[in-house]
Chain A
């Protein structure tokens, strides 16, 4: 018995390989970015397969069936599945034949592969694969589509029915003859003369086309407010409000802040219109709430982060239209912004808006991102509303030192007696920065009670052993109170004598001398002159500085 081996012709084998390469590229190009080596390799491999094929053939024509792809009547691909079915992918959009020609460049192949790699099911793509190919106008990739796919099955016969119906009404011969005879007698119909196009016409046209490229959303907004004027029923206002929301969303998504602003200006004119009743206006009022929605604020954040140049005036005007509902999304995006400028703008907006709802801003203190919490504390400080104090208290126990520091500072600036017990806890913080910040916070409070706290800290036994820098800060804080008690307290330190731990106690003396300089009381000069001659260099130097300050103000 002779067994005949069925040898597959070379071109069919290669066509199979090409289809497999296309399938692979379809997946790979979706998964990897353009600069990824896997992406590049897949592209090059696919290109090499085509190149190889075109060394002995000029075209590769693939016939597309629902579940299979044929080359030269041979099946080179088959899949009954819905997923990963390259045949079905093309077939469902009406594509029936795909031809690749010799001369196909890698660039064009890449464009084609990127196009088929799009996730048509998940991405919001308004076009199908045929439309996208049509728009690309490929030079070396041709295709044939079945246009019948575009119309419903019963509509297929529409052409025949319509044509037959139209042809039914045969022109009456007598009517034709009447026309013929009238043709000899009737007066000439004055025909229209054609003026040839001139260079000026072309120039005008070019100008028109240039103008035409402008964003059309502004025109739509103008129309929407014409609709307000043309509205006849109350529900018309509800409709208009919906369209306006869409217009705002579109304008913001496309970075057209001016258009969104224009819409808001117009909406406020409607609200101010005495001729309209409140029932009609209420729909337009809702636009302000939409402006502060997460969707719109998200677009704004994107715009700010993109680095596009936005005039501060425009931005301020926009923020001016926001209501307190914008606070939450602004905080959300504050943590996502990448540029300092964008963050600064959002913070500025929160400072303005936050005045309308401190609670909403304070909710930002619960954010998981330390930098957001720090920014919110800053916002609350700038707002300067003491109602924020109760929310700020918990920030001094925050896990991040930068947050604690900012919280302490803010509590100092906003707080009074009620924050003292909480703040006092911070003196026990192991970090010097926190302790210094706490001291400064007490300095800001400037009350008798806070003075007492600082005095207690300095007189405490442990104070002696602190670093010089920390001591200096505490004494500097003490200088906020320019009263007799502080003066006497400082002079007492300068006059005190000690035998043990002299180095540490000299540091206290030196700081007290410096503090006297800050107090500005010239009565301290004799005692300062006295300690300037001290054997301790630190005391002597600091006393010298204080004397200079008191005598010359420097």
Chain B
């Protein structure tokens, strides 16, 4: 198959998913017989026809947070983000995992689908209701939403851990090399970041989850990698392509490079900084810029890295440091890095700030800073990414269980997957991991978060549970 042709088919696949979402959203407002709904269905059939010219059927599957069309994952373009998110959410609500549209699909078949879909939205056992109605048509087959196999999950975690620690180790090596005046291999840095980008595109939650495990002793290196991962994840939400994500990840990895110039006795001081020491710390953006410009000749990435190193403490309203006079807008990458840098720093134990904030507490502080220190638009995307209860949040459930947020849920921001660490009888356990989006037979959620606690106050070691 020609490359161009493949791209066109992928575009059609995106259009089909988007159009299905459009039909459902339109049907939320109008009667199914309304001209707006009918027109949307006609357009949908037209798109389906383009694929069924060569394929006998169209199998649309929801696996994890991604749609697959005829077994190929369909990545969404930015303009379709809302419709894709909507469809994922609505499929999950109804526990629909698979819909197969047969060749010969007609408007009346889609109307049946619509009827089933709407009815399922009001049902306590949504999928049963849905599949019950779908027997009226032979041109659409459906399947229940499947859980992701735990075995695969465990293997994926192993790989992710390896990727994460390679990055930390590399980051450590880079800093050491720069300190001793050695050459840094930028090609390798790119490869490390590419690997992170790949894993974020496939398993965003797992790699982002690694950022919740904070290493007090190796803070600087972990922080650089965490900021890189969180930036890439946010960049993905913003619709960046692979190339841009790599550039963002690379830039973020080097954002704090200026700290190598801060004397260790200052950086590792266990008491509060004096005014002079703060002055030194505040120089690291300028030192970072200089370090990057010295590292190699100018190219698009080094320019961007230098800009971000200089700007990442400037803040959205220029209230940070260094103080600037004749200045335009902050770079988009700087605003991204600044945001995730704050989040990771606030939730980490550092030498000069020993007590970190719990993730949810950090988010609420950041919420207050949104619009002043932080770009409000980017913060909105960020909070939609990490969820109300970010990974690592210690939560009390209405089931009288204590747990740690293990994975966030892209669709149900307040219903993450939680690892139970104390069961309902008050006994310490290590698992299971439960999905807060799960319901009982009556349609009620099995578990809900009632309280959040500060894991640092109780010295909960995240690594023990999340690694």
The interface of chain A, by Cβ under 8 A from chain B, is 94, 103, 105, 107-108, 126-128, 130-131, 134-135, 137, 139, 145, 147-148, 150-152, 155, 158-159, 162-163, 165-167, 169-173, 175-180, 182-184, 186, 188-199, 201-202, 204-206, 208-209, 211-212, 216-217, 219-220, 222-223, 225-227, 229-230, 239, 243, 246-247, 249-250
Contact = CB atoms under 8 A, between A and B. Distances in A.
Interface string B192-207: 1011001000000000
A171 B303 contact: no
B168 A223 contact: no
Interface string B310-354: 110000000000101111110110000000000000000000000
A57 to B, nearest CB: 17
8 contacts: A147-B162, A150-B188, A167-B463, A171-B464, A179-B457, A180-B402, A189-B452, A190-B364
Contacts of B426: 177, 180
Contacts of B367: 192
Most central of A155, A177, A192 by chain B CB within 10 Å: A192
Given A208-B332, A212-B332, A223 B467 contact: no
Contacts of B298: 217, 220, 246-247, 249-250
B161 to A, nearest CB: 7
Nearest to B311: A223
Contacts of A130: 191, 194
Contacts of B464: 166-167, 169-171
A457 to B, nearest CB: 63
B82 A202 contact: yes
B213 A166 contact: yes
A367 to B, nearest CB: 32
Interface in B385-433: 387-389, 394, 396, 402, 413-414, 421-422, 426, 428
A108 B3 contact: yes
Contacts of A243: 290, 293
Contact of A150 (B172, B191, B360, B394): B191
B50 interface: no
A297 B455 CA distance: 62
B265 interface: no
A173 B218 CA distance: 26
Given A179-B453, A194-B384, A227-B286, 14 more contacts: A130-B191, A155-B170, A167-B463, A170-B461, A186-B451, A192-B360, A192-B364, A194-B387, A195-B380, A201-B377, A209-B238, A212-B331, A223-B306, A226-B325
Chain A binding surface SS class:
helix
B322 A230 contact: yes
B59 interface: no
A183 B170 contact: no
Nearest to A231: B286
A147 B461 contact: no
B314 to A, nearest CB: 10
Interface residues of B, number: 98
Contacts of A135: 242-243
A183 B194 contact: no
A163 B161 contact: yes
Most chain A beta carbons < 10 A, residue from B298, B377, B461: B298
B440 interface: no
A365 B326 CA distance: 47
A484 B251 CA distance: 85
Contacts of B186: 126
B381 interface: yes
A176 B421 CA distance: 9
B121 interface: no
A201 B81 CA distance: 11
A131 B325 CA distance: 39
A201 to B, nearest CB: 6
B155 interface: no
Given A202-B79, A226-B325, A179 B460 contact: yes
A162 B422 contact: no
A176 B327 contact: no
B463 A166 contact: yes
B25 to A, nearest CB: 12
A175 B460 contact: yes
Interface in B282-319: 286, 289-290, 293, 297-301, 303-304, 306-307, 310-311
Contact of B413 (A152, A173, A175, A194): A194
Given A127-B190, A179-B458, A189-B451, A197 B213 contact: no
Nearest to A152: B173
Nearest to B333: A212
Contact of B187 (A131, A186, A211, A226): A131
B2 interface: yes
A166 B310 contact: no
A211 B422 CA distance: 50
Contacts of B243: 135
A196 to B, nearest CB: 7
B183 to A, nearest CB: 13
Contact of B467 (A145, A166, A173, A229): A166
Given A191-B388, A222-B326, A239-B290, A197 B303 contact: no
A191 B414 contact: yes
A173 B459 CA distance: 10
B383 A192 contact: yes
7 A-B pairs with least C-beta separation = A183-B396, A166-B463, A159-B165, A179-B458, A155-B169, A158-B169, A250-B298
B32 interface: no
Given A194-B383, A208-B332, A226-B322, A94 B239 contact: no
Nearest to A103: B1
B361 interface: yes
B439 to A, nearest CB: 21
Given A103-B1, A166-B467, A205-B78, A189 B213 contact: no
B459 A172 contact: yes
A176 B422 contact: yes
Interface in B109-168: 161-163, 165-166, 168
B460 A105 contact: no
B42 interface: no
Nearest to A139: B6
A197 B382 CA distance: 11
B81 A189 contact: no
A226 B318 CA distance: 14
Given A150-B191, A225-B326, A220 B82 contact: no
A163 B467 contact: yes
- Interface centre among A108, A151, A165, A223, by most chain B C-beta atoms within 10 angstroms, is A223
B324 A226 contact: yes
Contact of B458 (A175, A208, A246, A247): A175
Contacts of B460: 171, 175-176, 179
A393 to B, nearest CB: 46
B293 A246 contact: yes
B450 interface: yes
A151 B307 CA distance: 27
B384 A197 contact: yes
A30 B166 CA distance: 35
Contact of B307 (A107, A201, A216): A216
A197 B82 contact: yes
Contact of B194 (A134, A139, A225, A249): A134
Contacts of A217: 298, 303
Nearest to A161: B165
A454 B326 CA distance: 67
A150 B170 contact: yes
A120 to B, nearest CB: 10
A226 B326 contact: yes
A217 B194 CA distance: 25
Contacts of B188: 150
B215 interface: yes
Contacts of B363: 192
Contacts of A172: 459
B297 to A, nearest CB: 7
Given A192-B388, A205-B239, A222 B327 contact: yes
A195 B195 CA distance: 32
